[in-house]
Amino acid sequence: MRPPLTLELLATPGEVREVRREIRAYAAEPCADLELCVSELLTNVIRHLGEGVPVTVRVSRTRDRTRLEVTDPDPRALPVLCRTSDENDESGRGLALLDALSLRWGVDQWPGSKTVWCELH
């Protein structure tokens, strides 16, 4: 089993692209769903907390699952799954995509931070 991939970065659009590239290299196999999930989670950080927020992205693998974690410094800004997004809405679909693509997902809160995570095949 491979060691986890851990990336510490400032959340910016350019870093989102770089993280996807790092994940592709780590996975060593097609991982479009994982790339989409990390893009959505990092974009949520940028949208709700602002550009330049420090985040940690962690990807770990077991025999049958890949776990993605994105940790940011705001335990109060919790993600909310909106199931009523209109097809013309420009936002609000990120967590719906995460929910559809992952086996399960959730949020762990601590004083001073939170981690949004998901597990995929």
Tell me the pLDDT tens digit for each residue of 22-41.
999 999 888 999 999 999 99
Residue 114's pLDDT band (cuts 50, 70, 90)? very high
pTM: 0.89
Look up the CATH number of the domain holding residue 19: 3.30.565.10
Of the candidates 44, 49, 59, which has an alpha carbon nearest to the alpha carbon of residue 3?
A: 59
Domain of residue 10, residue span: 5-120
Number of domains comprising the chain: 1
Please provide the DSSP assignment of 86-119 as one string: -TT-SSS-HHHHHHHHSSEEEEEEETTEEEEEEE
